[in-house]
């Protein structure tokens, strides 16, 4: 994601992203429903295991605020709001 002014945009097409949620810790965004569901599953997982390969998965490249245990509830609520927004758009 890139930022143009105060707007989140797709880096390849330059289009505004619709699934964007500002939180106290940072900005959460998703390209589509599948991306959003993967983030929600990560947020609600009781155990977050690594693949063993550095930067081998999408989750290893998430911003640090998303990985912190103290932000787990915040991330869960933000993904739930974005899921509701995505369902309203359909």
User: What was the pLDDT predicted at 52?
Assistant: 73
For 29, the 3-state DSSP assignment is strand
- Write out the H or E segment, with its range, that includes residue 78: helix 72-89
For 4, the 3-state DSSP assignment is strand
- Write out the H or E segment, with its range, that includes residue 40: helix 33-44
The model carries a pTM of 0.85
Which residues, in sequence order, are bridge partners of residue 7?
Answer: 4
Q: For each of the chain's 90 residues, which pLDDT tens digit applies?
A: 777 777 888 888 989 999 999 999 999 999 999 999 999 999 999 887 776 777 778 888 899 999 999 999 999 999 999 999 999 987
User: What was the pLDDT predicted at 57?
Assistant: 83
């Amino acid at each position: 994601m890139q930022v143009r002014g105060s707007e989140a945009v797709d880096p390849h097409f330059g289009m505004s992203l619709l699934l964007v949620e500002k939180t106290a810790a940072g900005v959460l965004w998703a390209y589509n429903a599948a991306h959003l569901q993967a983030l929600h599953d990560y947020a609600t997982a009781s155990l977050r295991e690594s693949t063993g390969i550095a930067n081998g998965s999408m989750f290893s490249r998430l911003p640090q605020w998303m990985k912190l245990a103290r932000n787990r509830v915040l991330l869960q609520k933000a993904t739930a709001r974005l899921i509701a927004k995505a369902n309203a758009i359909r």
